[in-house]
Amino acid sequence: MEKKYLISLIGVLVSFLLFSCAERPVIHEHAFILLTHYQEMSLGDEAAREILKKEKLVKNPKIVKKVKRVFDRLIKALPPKFQKLYDWKVYVIDKDIINAFALPNGNIFVYKGLIDFVKNDDQLAAVLGHEIAHVILRHGAEKVSQALLAQLGGYILLSKVSPAERELAAKLYNLGINVAFLLPYSRKQEKEADIVGILIMMRAGYNPDEAIKLWEKMVEKFEKKEPPEWLSDHPASKERLDYIKKVVEFLRKHPQYVEKFEIPQKLLEVD
> Can you say whether the dihedral through the CA atoms of 222, 235, 77, 52 is positive or negative?
negative
* Active-site position among 2, 29, 40, 131: 131
Q: Residue 72: which of 86, 88, 60 has the closest Cα?
A: 88
Tell me, what amino acid is at 84? Answer: K
Q: The sheet that has 89-93: what strands, in order across it?
A: 89-93, 107-111, 100-102
Q: Length of the chain in residues, anyone? A: 271
> 46, 103 in Cβ contact below 8 A?
no
Helix locations, the chain, DSSP H: 2-19, 37-54, 61-76, 80-85, 112-117, 121-136, 139-158, 163-181, 187-203, 209-222, 237-253, 255-260, 265-268
Radius of gyration, alpha carbons of the chain: 20
210 is catalytic: no
C-alpha 214/C-alpha 127 separation (Å) is: 9
C-alpha 93/C-alpha 110 separation (Å) is: 6
> 117, 98 in Cβ contact below 8 A?
yes
Q: Residue 268: which of 20, 26, 100, 79 has the closest Cα?
A: 26
Question: Which residues are identified as catalytic?
Answer: 131
